[in-house]
Amino acid sequence: MFDINSFLRDLSIAIVPFLLAVTVHEASHGYAAYFLGDDTAKRAGRLTLNPFVHIDIFGLLCLLITRLFGWAKPVPVNFNVVARKKYGVAIVAAAGPVANFLVAIFSAILYHIVSSIHTSNPLMIKILFPITMMLIFSVQINIALGVFNLIPIPPLDGGRILQSFLPVDKQVKFAQLERYGFIIILLLIITHVVDYVIFPIIHFFVRLLI
């Protein structure tokens, strides 16, 4: 039976780590591109940790429904510029997931510190409980976002990373898959491939951390 109170409670706790996760993810792409000579994200005002600059309404609605998956507006990157550097495209693409994994690890460390605090003070319990839950959600969301984006299908980060290591003639053909990327991802979800392949990986790393 659907418990609306439980849903709203979890959502109110999950919204902060979600906004942090997608903001760090997209900003990391922008900063990586900037360090490689592309100032597109900077000129677009996307080199910021202000979550309201990165929010995508549909990505936020997806979080409301799944309480796990969501996304932000992609940071604009001129891949013709970053591609001039060796593995530039791969570096920019990997920056987002790597940032999510680092946030997940940091959140897990804080979780273990906070959960080790034992108190019988009712006020402290009321304070520590939502913080603990928020840190758990942070680990789950960041791991999920990082792993999901590493699926080797363009335009996901994993697709761009794989494309960077392909021979030049095959890079062009592989890039053409991007127009079908959303359909492929949707098929993976509908056919439960994500459930059987991606979710176990996410759950493994979440259990490993917390």
Which residues have a catalytic role annotated? 26
HEC sequence for the chain: CCCHHHHHHHHHHHHHHHHHHHHHHHHHHHHHHHHCCCCHHHHCCCCCCCHHHHECHHHHHHHHHHCCCCCECCCCCCHHHHCCCCCHHHHHHHHHHHHHHHHHHHHHHHHHHHHCCCCCCHHHHHHHHHHHHHHHHHHHHHHHHHHHHCCCCCCCHHHHHHHHCCCHHHHHHHHHHHHHHHHHHHHHHHCCHHHHHHHHHHHHHHHHHC
- Quickly count: other Cβ atoms within 10 Å of residue 184's Cβ: 16
